[in-house]
């Protein structure tokens, strides 16, 4: 992977050609396939614990692997919680038969008991053949999780400590731990964390759309984080006005405001081995309440032009064009989720150079 200094020395990256295929992807080995995260199946994957779930229900990651094979996905990113060594071996064997790569998803430990569980999960991910594991520092959204700067600073300190504690573990297992920009870190804060850790074993899961919620344009986020990218959550985003601020929603690839070719090229130039994984979360649009005073509790000094740029984008959008679960029964939600994933895969093949 390119380090930050050498990356910045290359200057701005521009796409070559106009054939609709990013230069970095066109130069990739034949057969490159888009991966998918389990979160793209938030609804159906969540049904596995409900006896009354619409059929066909999935029981575990093996069932999800079979679905990925039919979808044509080249990688599955999925949680490895509670995987035994035996189950990890079964996942390894089946994914190798199907020709599907694997990335894990794992929670950061917050105490000694959590550290032991983390170590076990890293070992299971490695046994299943994963070399990259995605994690987050914050499971929720910054503006909904903290009511004061004191709480935010405590979170920053705890996150730094947790990553310092797990770094020797992932390094020993030969795993890359990829921390997602999960509606928590703004660019300067995330770079400060990564540069403090200064580890070849800890980098970034670059989520293409999350930082809209923090009033940062994802194109700028991609340029800043590319030198640290180990894996990705590929998505396109739609915005629309709302009385509390704006609405933010994942939309099928090619139907939103992001320059996907530009962002993929940034990642591929910095890390030619980076895996592109679709994260198309089908749900009602998220409300980002920038007109509510509480939104600013941990971000009191954001530049006015960041707010203006984001609100201007939202005002150009149409709330009725964003995906919605309104009026859909359980089976209808699952069908809508599958439709959005397949539309995204079709766009990736037709327009982004994936096989």
pLDDT band at residue 17 under the 50/70/90 scheme: very low
Question: Which structural domain, as residue segments, surrounds residue 140?
Answer: 31-238+250-286+326-350
Average pLDDT over residues 25-43: 78
Average pLDDT over residues 170-178: 98
Query: DSSP assignment of 93-124, as one string?
Result: HHHHHHT-EEEEE-PPP-SHHHHHHHHHHHHH
Question: How many domains is the chain partitioned into structurally?
Answer: 1
Among the listed residues 343, 99, 132, 124, the one whose alpha carbon sits nearest the alpha carbon of residue 232: 132
- Average pLDDT of the chain is 91
- Asked whether residue 115 is assigned to any structural domain, the reply reads yes
Query: DSSP assignment of 184-251, as one string?
Result: S--HHHHHHHHHHH--TTEEEEEESSGGGGGT--HHHHHHHHGGGEEEEEB-EEEEEEETTEEEEEEE
pLDDT band at residue 48 under the 50/70/90 scheme: confident
Whether the per-residue pLDDT at 209 is higher than 50: the answer is yes
Rg, Å, the chain Cα set: 20
Average pLDDT over residues 239-258: 98
Average pLDDT over residues 225-230: 98
Can you read off the two tokens belonging to residue 4?
């930050």
pLDDT of 13 reads: 37
**In degrees rounded to 5, what are phi and psi of residue 288?**
-110, 100
- For residues 14 and 258, give the distance between their C-alpha atoms in angstroms, rounded to a whole number: 15
Percent of the chain with pLDDT over 70: 89
- Asked whether residue 94 is assigned to any structural domain, the reply reads yes
- Asked whether residue 193 is assigned to any structural domain, the reply reads yes
Average pLDDT over residues 277-296: 98
- Asked whether residue 305 is assigned to any structural domain, the reply reads no
pLDDT of 57 reads: 73
Whole-model pTM over 0.85:
yes
pLDDT of 111 reads: 87
pLDDT of 47 reads: 82
pLDDT band at residue 49 under the 50/70/90 scheme: low
- Asked whether residue 5 is assigned to any structural domain, the reply reads no
More confident residue, 20 or 280: 280
pLDDT band at residue 249 under the 50/70/90 scheme: very high
More confident residue, 147 or 5: 147
179-206 tens-digit pLDDT? 999 999 999 999 999 999 999 999 999 9
pLDDT of 11 reads: 37
Average pLDDT over residues 232-245: 98
- Asked whether residue 270 is assigned to any structural domain, the reply reads yes
Average pLDDT over residues 96-121: 95
- Asked whether residue 312 is assigned to any structural domain, the reply reads no
Whether the per-residue pLDDT at 314 is higher than 50: the answer is yes
- For residues 330 and 227, give the distance between their C-alpha atoms in angstroms, rounded to a whole number: 41
Whether the per-residue pLDDT at 170 is higher than 60: the answer is yes
- Asked whether residue 89 is assigned to any structural domain, the reply reads yes
More confident residue, 330 or 312: 312
Q: Which CATH number do you get for residue 99?
A: 3.20.20.150
Whether the per-residue pLDDT at 131 is higher than 90: the answer is yes
250-270 tens-digit pLDDT? 999 999 999 999 999 999 999
Whether the per-residue pLDDT at 162 is higher than 90: the answer is yes
pLDDT of 263 reads: 97
């Amino acid at each position: 992977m390119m380090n930050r200094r050498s990356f910045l020395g290359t200057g701005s990256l521009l796409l070559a050609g106009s054939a609709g295929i990013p230069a970095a992807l066109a130069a990739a080995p034949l057969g490159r396939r888009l991966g998918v995260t389990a979160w793209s199946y938030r609804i159906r994957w969540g049904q596995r614990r409900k006896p009354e779930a619409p059929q066909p229900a999935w029981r575990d990651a093996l069932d999800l692997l079979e679905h990925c094979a039919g979808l044509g996905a080249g990688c599955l990113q999925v949680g490895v919680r509670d995987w035994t060594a035996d189950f990890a071996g079964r996942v390894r064997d089946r994914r190798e038969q199907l020709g599907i790569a694997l990335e894990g998803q794992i929670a950061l430990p917050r105490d000694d008991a959590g550290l032991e569980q983390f170590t076990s999960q890293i070992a299971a991910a490695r046994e299943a053949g994963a070399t990259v594991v995605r994690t987050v520092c914050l499971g929720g959204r910054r503006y909904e999780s903290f009511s004061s700067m004191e709480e935010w600073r405590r979170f920053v300190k705890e996150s730094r400590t947790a990553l310092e504690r797990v770094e020797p573990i992932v390094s020993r297992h030969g795993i890359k731990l990829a921390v997602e920009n999960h509606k928590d870190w703004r660019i300067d804060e995330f770079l400060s964390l990564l540069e403090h850790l200064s580890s070849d074993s800890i980098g970034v899961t670059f989520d293409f759309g999350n930082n809209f919620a923090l009033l940062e344009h994802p194109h700028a986020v991609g340029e800043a984080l590319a030198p640290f990218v180990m894996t990705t959550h590929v998505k396109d985003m739609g915005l629309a006005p709302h009385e509390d601020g704006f609405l933010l929603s994942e939309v099928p690839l090619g139907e939103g405001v992001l320059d996907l070719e530009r962002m993929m090229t940034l990642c591929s130039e910095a890390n030619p081995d980076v895996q592109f994984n679709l994260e198309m979360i089908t749900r009602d649009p998220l409300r980002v309440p920038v007109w509510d005073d509480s939104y600013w509790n941990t971000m009191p000094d954001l530049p006015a032009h960041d707010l203006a740029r984001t609100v201007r984008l939202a005002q150009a959008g149409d709330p009725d064009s964003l995906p919605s679960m309104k009026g859909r029964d359980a089976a209808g939600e699952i069908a809508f989720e599958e439709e959005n994933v397949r539309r995204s895969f079709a766009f990736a093949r037709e327009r982004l150079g994936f096989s």
